[in-house]
A and B are shown apart, each in its own frame.
Chain A
Amino acid sequence: MTAELGQIALILALLVSLAQAWFGLAGATRGRLDWMHAVPGAVLGQVFFTLLAYLALTWALVQNDFSIAYVAENSNTDLPLVYRLTAVWGAHEGSLLLWCMLMSFWTLAATRFSRNLPLPFTSRAIGILGLVSAGFILFTVLTSNPFERLFPMPGEGQDLNPILQDPAMVIHPPMLYLGYLGLSIPFAFAVSSLIGLESNTTWARWTRPWATGAWICLTLGIALGSWWAYYELGWGGWWFWDPVENASFMPWLVATALIHSLAVTEKRGAFRNWTVLLAISAFALAILGAFLVRSGVLVSVHAFATDPTRGVFILMFLAFVVGGALALYAWRAPKMPPGGGFKLSSRETFLLLNNLFLVVAAAAVLLGTLYPLFLDALGLGKISVGPPYFNAVFVPLMLPLLVFLGMGPYARWKQADGGDMLHRLWPFAVAAVVFGVTGTLLLGGNAGVMVLAGVVLGAWAIFSVLAEPVDRIRKRGLRNGLGGIPRSIWGMLVAHAGVGVMVIGIAVVTVFGVEREVRLAPGDSHEIAGYEFRFEGTRDVTGPNWDSIQGQFQVTRNGRDVTQMHPERRIYRARPDPLAQVDLHPRLRRDLYIAMGDYLGDDYWSIRLQYKPMVRWIWLGAIIMSLGGLIAILDRRYRLGSGKRATNGNRED
């Protein structure tokens, strides 16, 4: 019964989202107030029915109803309850259900917080979101039904993929999906403004908190995925330039460009068309990511089970939604009034450079990701594009961006005084260089220009942030000075510092990290980076749905005990392949990392030892960046019901 209930709920959600699209779009076009007022009701209906379908699948998993194919493929009687709950997004079909539900949540939020906006604008936007939702639900129902029955019913399920039985996997997909789907709101607002030709600045102000909110989720989602790959896949890498990772990184780059470009459009009315285009592109790349991951056009280490009909559907959806939006853009954008002009030396210029570098970086990643597909489609052979390409194009693009990141916030709108900026910033620049050079020398000596550039620029990103608070404190005292900084400025400063923290982490771990593959028998030891790893033997451990061989390691440094570590070689009973369960000893300044490899015979094991200096800074930086975004969203200007105050809000930002 549960499966049928979920199935019916999903179909009803489809109908309701179509109603939402109709009432929103047609209501606004024909000026029918009663239709427009029906939109929030339809949104509630969509939330209700997608939630119901989601709960139906959850219940089926909790009950281990193996008559449902999805449950039989992704659960097992021994699977712990928490992973049965998260198995909903453990494979393609169920993750789409989560996707649909989160989409309805965003729509509900957009409806709730847009009450003070003009009704036709909101109705159109929510109507567009309705079309998008309908597309996703239709995709689920037609190509990927999670409620399909299985006959005959198997006695036991195949268990959730072991690499997904992990705490980070509990939150990584929902966070990432929230990020992708959140981008639908700037998209819908942009398209709605193209239809209604709303004035430049109001549209941008309404969109900013949504773009930032989606960006926060995307940042955290990607960071979680990277963290998960780091300790779960057993290679100790935190970024692989894999197509699936790139699929999430491209929308992030464009969303980052978008939140900066929105600032210009809101404050100065400039870049209007460019901002609209970014809003459309960010969401387009999110859908493109779904296409790349779920259609099987590219080879990836962690793609979903694929099926060409799914690819065809997403491609049609992409053509319809994004193609429609871009056609609308081609038609309406020429009619938009031009924005304000600005001088070469101005904050606009810095933000333009920011956009330029981010968009070029996104295009380079897109090109690298799709290049194998292009060549194959043209019959020019099979190749793969790996990290060397991406590092070679991406890193040089990011270094100048970091220089500008420190300067941009101190340039005035329209026309900046170069001398004033130099005067304010030179002490911080000097401090960054001193810190970067001494820090690099202390860490590892003469290590090359790239790590030096990375650490100096990372320090620059962090130190330059201090210029604003320091200035304010000097002018107005500690209390008034710091209190006078608006939250949006705080948010920006914190986020920029987060970038610096991340960059330092990346530079240091890339250059100073040590990795050794060794062959050890009990009693043997091996030293890396001053740490002595002593292998003391193995013991057997049994979990709820797995058995494992656990290595016993004693780690010492200069003769003093540091820690004991217990990596495992784990076999999930329902699946044949063993899985390395890494053990970590994490510290802010370094991680120690052990992964058990194959048994080599005669008591010898293949063991991978790693020393990862400052690797935590990468994810810490991402968390700080997200925190900055959160602070910016909480700025008074975006508060509910602040429609009047908003116009005479903060002068700066």
Chain B
Amino acid sequence: MWRYILPLGILLVLIAFFWRGLQLDPGEVPSPLIDRPAPNFLLQSLHDPEEMVSELDLVGEVTLFNVWGTWCPGCHEEHEELMRLAHEENVRIIGLNYRDDREAAIQWLERLGSPFERSAYDPDGAVAIDWGVYGAPETFVLDHEGIIRHKHVGEITHEDIDQQLLPLIERLREEAEAG
């Protein structure tokens, strides 16, 4: 008798797995950089080629490191949310302008307003490779010692900020005060 029920059983097991699978995000790959210091880099600042930006600029307070480009639709989507974080929540955001054109990027920020304290200019994506970036936007959260504590792949939504990023930033700020 069991051999007649077996196919149904297999189907039910598969469906149970799929049901669970729907609640998971397969694109969410844990970054090996979590809990590690930020990779070293030295790049020109987007606005001023004379000025350099490095991993040392990420130390000192809780900082967001945001990979962006004018060509990236997700970056347009999340721009408003980054503005809110920077100007209402006073979060320091450093940008990594990724595979972009300098003039276009500067104009874009002038038109829409800039959430970034400064942006590093990475036209060929060399630094992005060290950071394990495989698309824009991506956002890293670093604590006051410059340790990467969280990586967000894809655009940041309003919910992401309220439910994930802000609580995390609050916690890291408390850590900074305590330590």
Whether chains A and B associate is yes
Does any Cβ of A come within 8 Å of B1's Cβ? Answer: yes
Chain A residues with Cβ under 8 A from B7's Cβ? Answer: 277, 280-281, 326, 329-330
Q: How far is the CA of A325 from the CA of B134 in the complex (A)?
A: 44
Q: How far is the CA of A382 from the CA of B25 in the complex (A)?
A: 10
Binding stretch for chain B, among A147-155, A294-302, A546-554: A294-302
Binding stretch for chain B, among A118-126, A316-324, A339-347, A454-462: A316-324
Q: How many residues in A have their beta carbons less than 8 Å from beta carbons of B?
A: 35
The smallest C-beta distance from B2 to any residue of chain A, in angstroms, reads 10
Assess the B21–A373 pair: CB atoms within 8 A: yes
Assess the A298–B15 pair: CB atoms within 8 A: no
Q: How far is the CA of A295 from the CA of B22 in the complex (A)?
A: 7
Per-residue CB contact flags for chain A residues 385-419 toward chain B (1 = under 8 Å, else 0) read 00000000000000000000000000000000000
The smallest C-beta distance from A328 to any residue of chain B, in angstroms, reads 9
- Interchain CB contact (< 8 A) of B18 among A297, A326, A330: A297
Does any Cβ of B come within 8 Å of A24's Cβ? Answer: no
The smallest C-beta distance from A38 to any residue of chain B, in angstroms, reads 33
Chain A residues with Cβ under 8 A from B5's Cβ? Answer: 330
Binding stretch for chain A, among B26-34, B54-62, B144-152, B164-172: B26-34
Assess the B8–A315 pair: CB atoms within 8 A: no
Assess the A372–B26 pair: CB atoms within 8 A: yes
The smallest C-beta distance from A61 to any residue of chain B, in angstroms, reads 22
Q: How far is the CA of A326 from the CA of B10 in the complex (A)?
A: 10
Assess the B22–A311 pair: CB atoms within 8 A: yes
Does any Cβ of B come within 8 Å of A211's Cβ? Answer: no
Q: How far is the CA of A627 from the CA of B129 in the complex (A)?
A: 49
Assess the A334–B18 pair: CB atoms within 8 A: no
Assess the A576–B72 pair: CB atoms within 8 A: yes
Assess the B11–A297 pair: CB atoms within 8 A: no
The smallest C-beta distance from B16 to any residue of chain A, in angstroms, reads 9
Does any Cβ of A come within 8 Å of B20's Cβ? Answer: yes
Enumerate A197-232 residues with CB–CB distance to B below 8 Å: none
Does any Cβ of A come within 8 Å of B71's Cβ? Answer: yes
Chain B residues with Cβ under 8 A from A315's Cβ? Answer: 15, 18-19, 22
| Residue of chain A at shortest CB distance from B22 | A311
Given contacts A297-B21, A330-B5, A577-B71, contact A373 B26 (CB under 8 A): yes
Assess the B1–A334 pair: CB atoms within 8 A: yes
Assess the B26–A376 pair: CB atoms within 8 A: yes
The smallest C-beta distance from A322 to any residue of chain B, in angstroms, reads 6
Chain B residues with Cβ under 8 A from A319's Cβ? Answer: 11, 15
Chain B residues with Cβ under 8 A from A334's Cβ? Answer: 1, 4
Does any Cβ of A come within 8 Å of B24's Cβ? Answer: yes
Does any Cβ of B come within 8 Å of A291's Cβ? Answer: yes
Counting contact residues on chain B (CB < 8 A from A), the size range is: 20 to 34
Chain A residues with Cβ under 8 A from B12's Cβ? Answer: 323
Q: How far is the CA of A261 from the CA of B12 in the complex (A)?
A: 25
Does any Cβ of B come within 8 Å of A426's Cβ? Answer: no
Does any Cβ of B come within 8 Å of A374's Cβ? Answer: yes
The smallest C-beta distance from A511 to any residue of chain B, in angstroms, reads 31
Chain B residues with Cβ under 8 A from A370's Cβ? Answer: 14, 17
The smallest C-beta distance from B169 to any residue of chain A, in angstroms, reads 26
| Residue of chain A at shortest CB distance from B13 | A374
Assess the A329–B11 pair: CB atoms within 8 A: no
Given contacts A315-B19, A377-B20, contact A382 B30 (CB under 8 A): yes
Q: How far is the CA of A577 from the CA of B135 in the complex (A)?
A: 12
The smallest C-beta distance from A197 to any residue of chain B, in angstroms, reads 15
Chain B residues with Cβ under 8 A from A377's Cβ? Answer: 17, 20-21, 24
Assess the A297–B22 pair: CB atoms within 8 A: yes
Per-residue CB contact flags for chain A residues 266-290 toward chain B (1 = under 8 Å, else 0) read 0000000100010011001000100
| Residue of chain B at shortest CB distance from A319 | B15
Does any Cβ of B come within 8 Å of A427's Cβ? Answer: no
Does any Cβ of B come within 8 Å of A484's Cβ? Answer: no
Assess the A329–B4 pair: CB atoms within 8 A: yes
Does any Cβ of B come within 8 Å of A80's Cβ? Answer: no
Does any Cβ of B come within 8 Å of A434's Cβ? Answer: no
Chain A residues with Cβ under 8 A from B24's Cβ? Answer: 297, 376-377
Assess the A374–B72 pair: CB atoms within 8 A: no
Chain A residues with Cβ under 8 A from B26's Cβ? Answer: 296-299, 372-373, 376, 382
Chain A residues with Cβ under 8 A from B21's Cβ? Answer: 297, 373, 376-377
Assess the B11–A323 pair: CB atoms within 8 A: yes
Chain B residues with Cβ under 8 A from A327's Cβ? Answer: 8
| Residue of chain B at shortest CB distance from A316 | B15
Assess the B8–A330 pair: CB atoms within 8 A: yes
Assess the B15–A326 pair: CB atoms within 8 A: no
| Residue of chain B at shortest CB distance from A366 | B14
Q: How far is the CA of A311 from the CA of B21 in the complex (A)?
A: 10
Chain A residues with Cβ under 8 A from B22's Cβ? Answer: 295, 297, 308, 311-312, 315
Does any Cβ of B come within 8 Å of A254's Cβ? Answer: no
Per-residue CB contact flags for chain A residues 633-644 toward chain B (1 = under 8 Å, else 0) read 000000000000
Chain B residues with Cβ under 8 A from A297's Cβ? Answer: 18, 21-22, 24, 26
Chain A residues with Cβ under 8 A from B14's Cβ? Answer: 288, 370
The smallest C-beta distance from A250 to any residue of chain B, in angstroms, reads 12
Q: How far is the CA of A174 from the CA of B134 in the complex (A)?
A: 33
Given contacts A323-B12, A576-B72, contact A373 B1 (CB under 8 A): no
Chain A residues with Cβ under 8 A from B17's Cβ? Answer: 370, 373-374, 377
The smallest C-beta distance from B95 to any residue of chain A, in angstroms, reads 18
Q: How far is the CA of A377 from the CA of B17 in the complex (A)?
A: 7
| Residue of chain A at shortest CB distance from B26 | A299
Given A295-B22, A370-B17, 4 other A-B contacts at CB below 8 A?
A288-B14, A326-B7, A326-B11, A329-B8
10 cross-chain pairs, A with B, having the tightest CB-CB distances, nearest first: A576-B71, A377-B20, A326-B8, A297-B21, A330-B4, A373-B21, A311-B22, A299-B26, A330-B5, A326-B7
Name 15 A/B residue pairs within 8 A (Cβ), A-sorted. Answer: A297-B21, A299-B27, A311-B22, A318-B11, A323-B8, A323-B12, A323-B15, A334-B4, A373-B17, A373-B21, A374-B17, A377-B20, A377-B21, A382-B30, A576-B72
